Structure formats: C-alpha cells, structure tokens
Chains A and B, each alone.
Chain A
Amino acid sequence: MAALLAPTTLWFLVMLIMPLIVILIFSFGERAAVGGYGGGFTFEQYANLPARLKAFQNTLTYAPLGTLLSLLVAYPLAYFLALKVDRRFKLVLLVLVIVPFWTSLLIRTYAWIYILGGRGIPTILEWIGIEGVRLINTPTAVLIGIVYGYLPLMVFPVYVSLEKLDKSLLEASNDLGGNSFKTFLQITLPLSMPGIATGCMLVFILLMGEFLIPAFLGGGKVFFIGNAMVDLFLQSRNWPFGSAVAATLVVIMLITVSIYMRLAMRNKTGADQSLM
C-alpha cells in the first residue's frame, strides 16, 4: 500500500507543494534591482498588498458574480440536456456543447472581441433601432466572456447530477400532488445541489486566477488579481510581490474550498456522495 502511494505522494509534493513553498519563500524576499527575486527576509511584500486592493476587490466581485451568471445560464441547459432531450440526441448535443472548447480559449475569446465590438452586436442592435450600445471593453463584456468561457465547467457537473437523478422521484412528487414547478423546487433543485456546488467551486476557483478575459474583453480596464500577477511576474518582474499576491490568493481559495467542504459534508446524504 505504502509503495503504491509513494508515486502519488511524490507527484503531490513535486507538482503542488514545491511550487507553493517556492512562492512562499519568494513572497518574503526582496525584488532584485533589475527584477526577479533578490533574496532576504521581509514582510514588506505583504505590507504592500493594499496596493493591489482594487484588483482583489474586482476579483472578489466578478468571480462570484460570474459564477452566479454561469450557473443561471448553465442550469437550464444542463436541465434540458439531462431531463428533456431524447436519449438518442443526448450524446450529439453534449458533444456540441464541448466542441467549441476544442479550440483554445484565447482564440474564442478573441472572436468575442469582434462579436462585442462596434461592428458586432451593437450594429445589429442599431438595425433594430437601439443606438449607442457599447459592449466591448466594459464589465458586461467581461461577464459575457466569463459565462461563455466557463460554461462547460458549470454545465457538466450539473448535468451529471441531474442525469443521475432517479426520474421516479420526479414522478413520485408529481404523484403526490406536486406540479412541475413545485417538483423542481422541492426535488430537482435540492438533489442537484452537489452538481451546483461542484460547478460553482470549479468556476469560482478558476475565475479567481482569470486574467485573459478581462484583458481581452475588458480592454485592460477591468483589472483582476490574475492580471496583477501577470504584470508583476512578466512586466515589472517583481517576483517577491507577485508571490505575495499569489500566496494571498491561494489562502483565499483555501478558505473558499474549506467552506465548500464544510457545506458538502453537512449536506451529505446517501444519494449524493459521488460528486463530493
């Protein structure tokens, strides 16, 4: 058993713990004069965190908002796929949901620059008489990009939980006098909670590190913590400060994950353990 676990442990150490330790060490160092890591031990980087307060605020606003919007878009889609679509077409439709994601997010996000740009949707809106709509490089564009980019991450866990849902439970509710709406609220929704939680968790955690969508669709004006880190590591090459920001982000994520685990454990029932 121990021998079998050894490679896993090693992998875990090398891939996860080591980078974290490096980040942690860097975060207590000083920036070298020409950039990079200059050694030393100081709390200066952490003291300097308020300089990125706005980026943290933005991320902590847009990440939950983006997660919520993704859920609102993904849930009906997953519901439709899992419960309404004829079994024969299910696979085809699922594949159709995934296909766009075979192309890199970069290219697809780039495409949105044109869709949301002056000659895209705003022009179409002009045809129907709605003038002066500006989409590209606005927070709205960033949210649209987020919902688009993260859709499968939300759709799949929710789909799986709905697909697993014993359909006779819905009939039982119906039989006992619950119409479709009541059945949805009292049975479908609570039983798809594990999928919702997993999807939200995935999207939220990845959104916390997002930098591409705000850079492209926000025109650089919507500044996430991910953008701050890209700048710190690749432009100003202030590795210690970048590391302190990264370490702080990791802590925020750990807190989020532990809250999720708490909730997941508390809600654990016989039927919904598999997604935990």
Chain B
Amino acid sequence: MTSVAAFRNVSKRYGEITAARNLNLDVASGEFLSFLGPSGCGKTTSLRMIAGFEQPSEGEVFLEGICVNDVPAYSRPVNMVFQHYALFPHLNVESNVAYGLKQRSPKPPTGEIHNRVHEMLELVQLTGYSLRQTWELSGGQQQRVALARALINKPKVLLLDEPLAALDRKLRREMQIELQNLQRNVGITFILVTHDQEEALSMSDRVCIMREGEIAQVGSPLDLYDRPRNQYVADFVGKSNFFYGVIEQVRTWKVDIRLDCGIPVVLNSSRSFNSHKNGDKICISVRPEQLVLARDESNIPEDSAIKSTARIMNRIFLGEQIEYLLCDERLGEFLALSSRHNELNEKPFETNEVVFVAWSRDATLILDDDERDKPNVS
C-alpha cells in the first residue's frame, strides 16, 4: 500500500492557538480513516489542510507523494463533503452534481456530463431526482447529493467533515452503512471527521485519535481498544478503570508497581508501550469486562494481578450484561461488566453485597500517568 495522503511535521497556528501540532500521518490508498476527538481538537483543521483551504504553518502535506503546500484547493485531487452539505441553493440536483465536471478544462461534452451525473445519482440511489431543487430534499437526500457531487471527479481522497452530524440517529446508522458500502464500491480513500467514537470505530479501517492538536494514537479500532498507548486513548475508546501508582522495580519480563493506595502489583512489562524506569509515576488501566467478580474466593484465578474485596454500590442491567459500580476503601470506585452467562454461572450480585474482585496481568495496561485528567471511572 502506498500512501495517498500524508502529513510530515505539520503544524497549524492561528495566532496564539495551535490547532494542529507536529502531525505525522500516512493514509493508505483505499483505506477508510477517521479523525476522532473532542470538539476543538483540530480534526477539521487537519482535514482542511488536506483539502487546501488552510495552509500549514509548518511542515508539509503530501498527496500521492507530492508536496501540495503550494497547490490551491481547486487543483488538488481531493473532494470534500461539507458538514452542512454546502449544496448550491440556486442550482438543482443535476447541476449541483455536475458542477465539478463543468469546472474542468476542457469541459467534457454535455452528453458525457449528463451520463456521469446519472451514474453518480444512481450510485447514491437518487435516480429520478435530477431536476429537483436541493432545498426540497430531506436531510439524507441532501447528504447523498453532496456525496455524488464530491465523487463525480473521482478524487483520490474523499474528505468528509462530520457528514452525518445533522441526521437523526436512525438515519445516521443507515447512512453509516451506506457510506461504508459506497467506499468499498468506489475504492476511494475516505477520510472522515467525527466526534462520535461509535461511528469512527464501526466504520473505519483505522482511526486517528486527536487531542488538543496532536495525534494521540493511530490504529485499527481493535488496536485502539486493546492496546491504547495512553490514558487519553484508553479513556476515549470504551470504558476503563484507572489506578495510579509508581514503578518500584523494572525487571526483565515483569514490573513491580506500588499503587498510591499501597497495594503492590506485579505486571507483565509487555503490557507497557513506553519504557519506564524505577520511580516513574504511572497509571494502570483495566477494562470493566476484564474484572472478575466472585462470591467465593476460590473462584478467583491464582495469577491475578490484584485480588480484593469490594462493595457493590449500584448495578445496571444492560440485557446480556450487567454493569456494576463497586467501591473499595483502597481502590476507590470502579466499574465492572459481567456477562450473565459466564462460566461460573453465578446469580447476579445484589447492591451492598461484598464480593471478591480480581483481574489478570494480561488484562492490565501500564500507561503514562496523564496528569491532565484523572477520573477513576469513565
């Protein structure tokens, strides 16, 4: 796979504000990549630098291996679907979709334009809508017109800035599937901006998680979930329990850690991304579903990283699963998710019941202690 779009040390500043900081990213041809992150983290800015609407303050943007810093937006082989579609209100559906073709010089013959437009409308299932005015269409239909319009020039990369944000939940779900199918059909690289993690994780081949202008981590959805590089990603993707402590001793395969509450833990050093040295402040992370709860201590596996007791504070039935909020004097509050049909076949725990809690070494990640936000439960 060759990279169709890339950032090399790209930064973007607006006066005091740094909207993007030292971005490095390669987008593979044909892949579906999402920029995910909270509001204001620089997703749109990054996308607009690819489109050519913004110039990087530093670094270079590449398209198909060529630096395009000096190439104006109208000459770049990328197209964009705008958040509010930005359909031209004075043009009907057909003219909107044909717009890109008509800008070419030489302009393609009218017949060809007509055929291409209808091909595109068919692709987005809007056959027969060509003479409608855009404001007569529903949100979803407008969305499709925007897609058809952006795809007609066969861009190398299609940029989508929160294209589904304006749609209601059900329609959004449908469009997500449709977008995925469309991407597979046309084989064009899609870069999608969203702050909906479910959307990013369900649709993308890879997700680029951004935080305050920086790339926190790029990886497949599974990767991000199982092997988050830092507390921020672990927190952002799915739910995690965090416990803070210091490294006491780094050994060949193992790491001795003492949590702030005094509990010593021994973990596999392979569960850490960054090399740590003795005395480093760290944070360990464990997913709620990886906690083992039991009434009987004998049901707790021997080689657990931690064994403790805790009181069930609250429980929420989620159908197949039950989410428990637990509390222990030393560990504080944390979440556990247990399947109702686990191998132990225990009855669901009651509120106020005191149970045994444990989790395995392999389930525990060692992360840098991110001082910036420290929620125990997320």
A and B: direct contact (Cβ < 8 Å)?
A: yes
- A binding-site residues for B, Cβ under 8 Å: 166, 168-169, 171-179, 182, 186-187, 190-191, 269-272
**Cβ contacts under 8 Å, B83 to chain A:** 168
**Cβ contacts under 8 Å, B78 to chain A:** 175
* B86 x A172 contact (CB < 8 A): yes
* A175 x B88 contact (CB < 8 A): no
Bound Cα distance A48, B104 (Å): 60
Nearest residue, chain A, Cβ from B104: A177
* A269 x B100 contact (CB < 8 A): no
The 21 sampled A-B contact pairs (Cβ below 8 Å) are A168-B82, A168-B83, A168-B84, A169-B88, A172-B87, A172-B149, A174-B53, A175-B53, A175-B78, A175-B79, A175-B80, A176-B150, A176-B153, A177-B75, A177-B100, A178-B99, A178-B103, A187-B88, A269-B90, A270-B135, A271-B90
**Cβ contacts under 8 Å, B73 to chain A:** 171, 174-175
* A176 x B82 contact (CB < 8 A): no
9 A-B pairs besides A175-B78, A176-B103 with CB distance below 8 A are A166-B86, A168-B82, A169-B89, A171-B73, A176-B150, A177-B103, A177-B104, A178-B99, A271-B89
* B51 x A175 contact (CB < 8 A): yes
* A178 x B86 contact (CB < 8 A): no
B161 CB to nearest chain A CB (Å): 9
* B89 x A176 contact (CB < 8 A): no
* B99 x A176 contact (CB < 8 A): yes
* A272 x B89 contact (CB < 8 A): yes
Bound Cα distance A12, B80 (Å): 51
Q: Chain A's interface: helix, strand, loop or mixed, by majority?
A: helix
**Cβ contacts under 8 Å, A186 to chain B:** 99
**Cβ contacts under 8 Å, B104 to chain A:** 177
A255 CB to nearest chain B CB (Å): 27
Count the A-B residue pairs with Cβ separation under 8 angstroms: how many?
Answer: 76
Q: Which of A166, A168, A179, A190 contacts B72 (CB 8 A)?
A: A179
* A176 x B90 contact (CB < 8 A): no
* B88 x A182 contact (CB < 8 A): no
Query: How many residues of chain B get a CB closer than 8 Å to chain A's CBs?
Result: 28
Nearest residue, chain A, Cβ from B80: A175
Contacts of B69-120 to chain A: CB distance below 8 A: 72-75, 78-80, 82-84, 86-90, 99-100, 103-104
* 10 A-B pairs with the lowest CB-CB distances in the bound complex, closest first: A270-B135, A271-B89, A177-B103, A176-B100, A172-B86, A168-B86, A174-B73, A178-B103, A175-B80, A190-B90
Which has the most chain A C-beta neighbours within 10 Å: B74, B80, B135? B74
**Cβ contacts under 8 Å, B24 to chain A:** none
Nearest residue, chain A, Cβ from B82: A168
A142 CB to nearest chain B CB (Å): 36
Q: Judge if B3 is at the interface, Cβ distance under 8 Å.
A: no
Bound Cα distance A186, B149 (Å): 16
Q: Judge if B133 is at the interface, Cβ distance under 8 Å.
A: yes
**Cβ contacts under 8 Å, A272 to chain B:** 89-90
Bound Cα distance A191, B90 (Å): 7
* B72 x A176 contact (CB < 8 A): no
Bound Cα distance A176, B133 (Å): 20
Q: Which of A174, A269, A270, A271 contacts B74 (CB 8 A)?
A: A174
**Cβ contacts under 8 Å, B72 to chain A:** 174, 179
Which has the most chain A C-beta neighbours within 10 Å: B73, B83, B149? B73
* B74 x A175 contact (CB < 8 A): yes
Bound Cα distance A271, B51 (Å): 26
**Cβ contacts under 8 Å, A178 to chain B:** 74, 99, 103
Bound Cα distance A166, B135 (Å): 14
Bound Cα distance A179, B103 (Å): 9
**Cβ contacts under 8 Å, A269 to chain B:** 89-90, 133, 135
Nearest residue, chain A, Cβ from B53: A171
Bound Cα distance A174, B86 (Å): 12
* B74 x A179 contact (CB < 8 A): yes
Which has the most chain A C-beta neighbours within 10 Å: B52, B82, B90, B135? B90
* A171 x B82 contact (CB < 8 A): yes
A169 CB to nearest chain B CB (Å): 5
Nearest residue, chain B, Cβ from A183: B74
* B135 x A172 contact (CB < 8 A): no
A82 CB to nearest chain B CB (Å): 17
* A169 x B86 contact (CB < 8 A): yes
